[in-house]
């Protein structure tokens, strides 16, 4: 028997898909020279931005350290001044008490003590 020429052609066998070989590298995509140059330029700009940000971050850390150190110095100075004011207030209170007591007692010792305390206050105040 002859095949009928009007009959549909027998289905052709499709080629089987080729499985990748293990360890084989896939084909590299094709990049144009312009694309490569554009990517290199963008890469360079990004690296420059990163370096700029790192420098800025380093400067910020240095500034923070300097300001922290300066703040500690200011706090120490404030504490020193506060101690002086406290001492002066103590001398004023002691002098006032001595003055109150010296009004009732006219002893020479109280007057000398009061003057010494006032001299000490003036000396401490002048150190401020």
pLDDT tens profile 67-80 = 999 999 999 999 99
What's the pLDDT score for residue 66?
97
pLDDT tens profile 17-75 = 666 667 667 666 677 888 999 999 999 999 999 999 999 999 999 999 999 999 999 99
Model pTM score:
0.46
Cβ atoms of 88 and 121 closer than 8 Å: yes
The pLDDT mean for the chain works out to 79
């Amino acid at each position: 028997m002859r095949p009928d020429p009007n009959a549909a052609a027998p289905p052709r066998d499709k080629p089987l898909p080729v499985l990748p070989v293990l360890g084989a590298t896939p084909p590299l995509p094709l990049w144009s020279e312009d694309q490569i140059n554009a990517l290199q330029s963008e890469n360079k700009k990004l690296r420059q931005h990163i370096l700029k940000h790192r420098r800025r971050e380093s400067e910020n850390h240095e500034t923070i350290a300097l300001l922290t150190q300066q703040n500690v110095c200011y706090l120490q100075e404030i504490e020193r001044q506060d101690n002086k004011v406290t001492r002066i207030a103590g001398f004023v209170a002691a002098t006032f008490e001595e003055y109150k007591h010296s009004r009732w007692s006219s002893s020479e010792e109280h007057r000398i003590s009061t003057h010494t305390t006032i001299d000490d206050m003036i000396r401490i105040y002048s150190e401020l």
